[in-house]
Chains A and B, each alone.
Chain A
Amino acid sequence: MMYDPISMAGASVLLLFATAMLAPLFRKHQQILITMSFALATVASFLGVTAGIWSVGSGITNQVILPIGLPDLPFHLRLDALSGFFLTVIGLLSLFVSVYSIGYIKGYLGQRSVTSLIIFYCIFIAGMMMVVLADDALCFLVSWEIMAASSYFLVIFENERQENRRAAFLYLVVAHVGAIAILLSFGVLAGFATKSESFLGYTFDAMRTAQLPIEWATAAFFLSFFGFAAKAGVIPLHVWLPEAHPVAPSNVSALMSGVMLKTAIYGIVRVTFDLIHVFPVWWGAIVLSFGLISAVMGVLYALMQHDLKRLLAYHSVENIGIILIGIGLAMIFKAFNLPLLAALGLIAGLYHTMNHAMFKGLLFMGAGAVLHATGERNMEEMGGLIHRMPWTAALFLIGCVSISALPPFNGFVSEWLTFQAFLLSPALPSPLIRLLIPLGAALLALTGALAAACFVKAFGVTFLGHWRGHHNPKVHEVDWSMRIGMLLAALTCFGLGILPSVFIDWMDIIAEQLIGTTIASSAGRYGWMWLTPVSYERASYSGFIVFVGIILVLGIAYALLHVRPGTIRRVPIWDCGFEKINQRMQYNATSFAMPIRRIFGYLFSIRERVELAPQAGHKAFPKKIQYHLSIRDRVWGWLYKPVVEASFWMSRKVGKLQQGRIQAYLIYSFITIIILLVFLR
């Protein structure tokens, strides 16, 4: 049955469910359980990746109808290039994270039972795979809920802490508000697709052929965009993300940040380019605007954090913004009927989707390794880990360089493609959009530069300098499985960075299917080394030669300087001759971000307070100085607090109906029946 990609993907999902079912049987033998389940999850993810690569590579679309689901409403599955691409992304990161988890989850041995973690971990990956395979509204929403519910249980895994329970609850609320919007959107689409004689309007095939009046299409698009944006963490719907991602176990954070957010991107692309497929320009402008806001605000919030995982979570908001910039540009170009440029924008967005999955997965795994080794998430307490965790440090550094969009790694390629898409926009006829575009390019450039600043901070404070904490834990390098998981992700980042044209060649079929044109004919025309998205004269980039060039010059310089055996003498720190330096005098995360906090401070609500404990007799020399800093998201106060307060106010009012007396309730029922009889006779 494995002879086509979709059966293989199905086998992968089934294997994951089987692993989840098997897990309770081994709950008494936690050690075996961990190794066995994650090994099975690795195999299942590998099947998923193979199916994905195969289906995109061959360009064949497979469809299957499963006889499960509601009566007369069977599940439809479909694997086309777009699904195949996202299946590859999901499978690839799940593969790396599953290898990593073998070592990481062993950290819980002796503390708590990990059976539930393993069950929901497998269901979670299976749910994500099913989301991209689904080909009807019912199957899609069921998978979507499986994914949301299982990830809720993963977030709440360490449930003894109040903050974790709060974060998980917030996550659940936002996920369901989003799911309702998606349900309504499919309702609108299905309503126009249904012929009166059958129920089949709920399939995506029917929705594709439906003729929607523009106002209903707009309603469907904005409902689904709202729903998917809530899942993706687009500002202002991002508040759950920096709460939920840090408190989940790190392997789960890697998957949630790396790939679960991507299912929302998949949803946006599927609904817009495939199901609705004809849309006006201003939809694209709105997507682009939200992308820009998320990118800039996401990175600024990230800079203010000193919790390593929270910092990474805010960077997910930023990167989702960058992906939406590419997709928004593609929508604008497509609406103006410029297919080649639309294909470029879409490929840039999807390339960044892949990139973000890889480097964000890598960074969360690295943060997990640090947490595993030191028991610490607060960067203010860390430092100097490069000496004690050399592997983790080097791999984490690759993640930092990739996410900061520096060549020759992968983050740079997708940002470069997005810039090229921006630079082709003089072809657009609309003056209003022409004003938005330069500002967009400026904001994207600002985002990239701020991200670099943020990762100098993250890496510098965590791994360089001296240990800052008061107590000094025994820090050790993590075990082989965690290192392999991170190493594979790092190698993928590197490969995607130096061989972009090979990758674009592979995924170009998506643009062909959704927009009707490809960029590969121009992108890889000069061989595997060169990336020339539009034409050779326009722009070209070769990550491979940049890498080889840097290594070559570096090697020559090193060799020339070591003809004579170079002498290096290890000496105490100089520091301009200041001798009494100690580790608390180093710059830390808060002080590093201070200049940027001062420049962009008006975007946050910042409260700073300095307390002096005076010494008797010497007022000028206080005994102790304490500095308090609290930075809050302004969005929470503007948008969410009123809603929360209003719902509490309403429930208090409604609560007055609850008398607790049976007579009162009987009267309510009686009145209801009378009203129904009067009006609905």
Chain B
Amino acid sequence: MTSQTAHAIALQGLVKTFRGHDGPVRAVRAVDLAVERGETVALLGPNGAGKSTTLDMLLGLTEPDAGAVAIFGSRPREAIAAGEIGVMLQTGALIGDLSVRELISMMASLYPRPLDVEDVLELTGILSFADARTQTLSGGQTQRVRLAIALVSDPELLVLDEPTVGLDVGARRDFWTTMRAFAARGKTVVFATHYLEEADAYADRVVLMAHGQVVADGPTTEIKAMVDVHSIRATLPAVDADALAALPGVTKAERHGDTVILTCSDSDAAIRALLERYDDAHDIEITGAGLEQAFLALTSDQSQPTVNEELLA
């Protein structure tokens, strides 16, 4: 396999267990993933799903206990040395005592075929503060500089680990606009996020992770429908929970005293059916469930790795 025909990313059977206070923590258990050139893939999952550990293994920052990583057919270290990967790690600030322009030039000098520094400053919208010292920047500006560092090697693959955490809505939108312009050059982008909206807006494909496993992998629209769970809470005495669970659009029903909580895959259908059949239901609330809840709903009854195929079937 040459680097021209290889997958952009091929992860096979990745496993990583950390030593925790209460025994071993299985951060990643058997992750397989293939990403083609030019794809924009979101790694979506709640905190602790194993996204960062997976990306750390992808980048060679963490050695997997088992499994193999190939980036354009090479080992991570080789792909990094060739300047094929641009990275924005989840945490990290900038070293001080340099201007933004100097810092980008410093990083550009490490790569075999860097982009022109001025072009990168323009692409990432940091020309206006290119002469400012790095320690004086705002959070949003710092993220832009970190993106510029990731882009300066003119990488084929961009890896972003929760790149917009802590940014306000405007800064977040600006960030993705820049990222999209870069992806439009035929680059491969993989980003971890726990915002469904972000995955929905910017990825072609979503890889859903929970408990260290890939629980679903498919086009964004499909995954969104699966994860976009709502719950209906209503006061409704004297109706069996099993009967409620059988309503259209309802995946799960629970009773707490007079209150019922319906977890719904289609809350519109569920609310219509509920009111039609039980017109004494009152104090009704519909809430969008967080990802955390959606994942619990997805994985609660089927915690085996086979969930993957079943969900997509």
| Same complex origin of A and B | no
A-to-B contact residues, CB < 8 Å:
none
B-to-A contact residues, CB < 8 Å:
none
